[in-house]
Structure 1
Amino acid sequence: MQSLPPSSSAFDSGRAAEACLVAEFAGGRTMLRRQHVGYPLHVTRGFYLDAARPDLLTLYLQSASGGLYAGDRLTLDVAAGADTSLHLTTQSATVVHHGRDAASVQQARIEVASRAFCAISSEPYVLFPGANLSLDTIAVVADDAALFLADGIAVHDPKGEGRSFAHYAARLRVMRPDGRMLLRDSGRIAGEQFLKGPLGTMAATATALLVAPKERLPSIALLARAVDACGCLAGASEAPNSAGLVMRILAPDAGALARGIEAAFHVAAAAALGVQLARRRK
């Protein structure tokens, strides 16, 4: 495939890349049984970081480019098999560059099988002036499985001229393997609207979702306190159809938001797995 500089001209149509990760439980721990990862994405070797849960596999999803560019189309397909314990995270925040009237699109499909635990906690997307980002996620979660999912954005103008991103949209659907819909969550906002202050003085926001049986959920108060302690403002409630918990997070910047997402992950994982996990260094 011929490769062109990602921002070389107005005629660049962006890149298409796909990452497919399949985890299975074997030999007493979770193994990455199959992977297919296309440029610019890269997955590190697997890490087993938790003495209390030696079966838990941690993977870092990395980008070999400078972020998301106009017209990029990235697809992430993650399957956590029965009895697996998997944590997928990113190595750092992802910069989203000027969209030049072509959205950067990231789609994700996540399958979490019976008795599995799957956490996907991404560092924030940093929206530069003119950025146009669209996220579309579908998750299929077994009744007795647990999924933690967090995505967030932060705005940044390197020149400090008050310029805004162009557009941001996100759609999330969570269902059971039989096709029963548990929840839908969608929203969109233009950069000009964002600058008018819907978040007040905050420049970053995220949604964290925990789908799990009731006995594997943390208390809302505990979850909110942990995130608030990172300099964020957090509010959580029960998800529709008794699916779990949904949390909205506001933060003054990308760094505080990343710390808040990490705190939410650790509280959610402790409730779902019954142990405190080690810090994920980046």
Structure 2
Amino acid sequence: MGDIGGASAGMNGTPTPGGQSARSYFDQPVRAELVFSRDPVGRTYVSRQYMPYPFHICRPLYIEHDPPGMATLYVQSCAAGLQQHDDLRTSLVVGSDAQVHYTTATPTIVHSMEEDQAKQETWIEAYPESLTEFLPEPLILFPRSRLRSSLYVSAHESSSVIAGESFLLHDYSGADGVFDWFESELKIQRPGGTALARDRFRITGNLFRERRPGVNGEFVAQGSFVVLAGEKFTEAMIGAFRDELGSSTDVYAGVSALRDRCGVWTRLLAPNGLALRGAMTTAWVAARKLLTGLSPTPRRK
């Protein structure tokens, strides 16, 4: 695991806040790299990319009702999901004043595995005055799948970050098969290394299937949603999330403030993928409105 704080954070050849060239996050070069920058007229563009197989990106889109110049980027997989032995790593650097909405075109299938596991890691580095929205579609855990998923965020104090991750299970055979296990980690810190939040959990499919109270109960889909936007937005964000999500009869949600009231954390439980997607969208719309004053146009997928 690499260092995401200080001058070492960033990608090869990318200037860091300390003005030095950055090394790779990993012992070997990261497998996918994206750098977003703001051009002289205020439009965000992809200023650097390295997207080897199985990653594929489309051209950035500029969508009505988004903040001026915000880029929407769809990322796709040419491998039809995550397979056993996969170890996929992505680095996103969002430069000063850049604004980007990063998403996937479809949910990511985590396929059944006979041996080993799959891993995915995403690193986000948000520079001053930037706005980053990292909102991939859910993971779909097939029977006998095993996945370790990690999201690491290094956010400057004047940046804003909206990030969400979610998963649900599905047995394509129509039986009652479940995934073997799923591990998730989220770590958020400042460029200097100050920790803001860390969330880790590991759950087995057998435990998930038991529907235990205090674990998942009647719910089979789960999501996490975090907003880093500074103390001035925290109370309003908590109130908006509780009002919007509390009106749903399908979703069970908890909302709380992060350390030093630097942002808001939300956990969502839903009975199915449709309800989960609706709740994640509701949280995104509420956050976007508070941060920018604009209501986003739903992304077509």
- Calculate the TM-score normalised by the size of structure 2: 0.84
SS of 1:219's equivalent in the other structure is helix
Give the direction of change, closer, same or farther, for the CA distance of 1:17–1:256 in structure 2 (3 Å limit).
farther
Corresponding position: 1:189 with 2:209: no
Cα distance in 2, alignment partners of residues 17 and 129 from structure 1: 29
Q: Deviations over 1:214-242 (max 9, x none)?
A: 22344323213434556422211111232
**Correspondence for 1:241:** 260
* Count of aligned positions: 267
Contact 2:218 2:271 in 1 (8 A): yes
Corresponding position: 1:252 with 2:271: yes
**Matching of residues 43-192 of structure 1 within 5 Å:** 43-51=57-65, 53-192=67-206
Higher strand share: 1
Give the direction of change, closer, same or farther, for the CA distance of 1:181–1:17 in structure 2 (3 Å limit).
closer
- Calculate the TM-score normalised by the size of structure 1: 0.90
Contact 1:81 1:113 in 2 (8 A): yes
Letter in 1 for 2:128: S
CA apart distance, 1:268: 1.0
- Could you list the runs of 5+ residues in structure 2 that have no partner in the other structure? 1-28
Identity of aligned residues (%): 28
Give the direction of change, closer, same or farther, for the CA distance of 1:52–1:189 in structure 2 (3 Å limit).
closer
Counterpart of 1:213 (choices 209, 214, 230) is 230
Contact 2:231 2:260 in 1 (8 A): no
Corresponding position: 1:224 with 2:242: yes
Root mean square deviation of aligned Cα: 1.7
Cα distance in 2, alignment partners of residues 51 and 152 from structure 1: 26
Contact 1:17 1:73 in 2 (8 A): no
**Correspondence for 2:11:** none
SS of 1:38's equivalent in the other structure is coil
Q: Deviations over 1:129-170 (max 9, x none)?
A: 001011112110000111111001101112232111001001
Corresponding position: 1:201 with 2:201: no
**Correspondence for 1:267:** 286
Contact 1:207 1:249 in 2 (8 A): yes
**Correspondence for 2:4:** none
Cα distance in 1, alignment partners of residues 30 and 173 from structure 2: 31
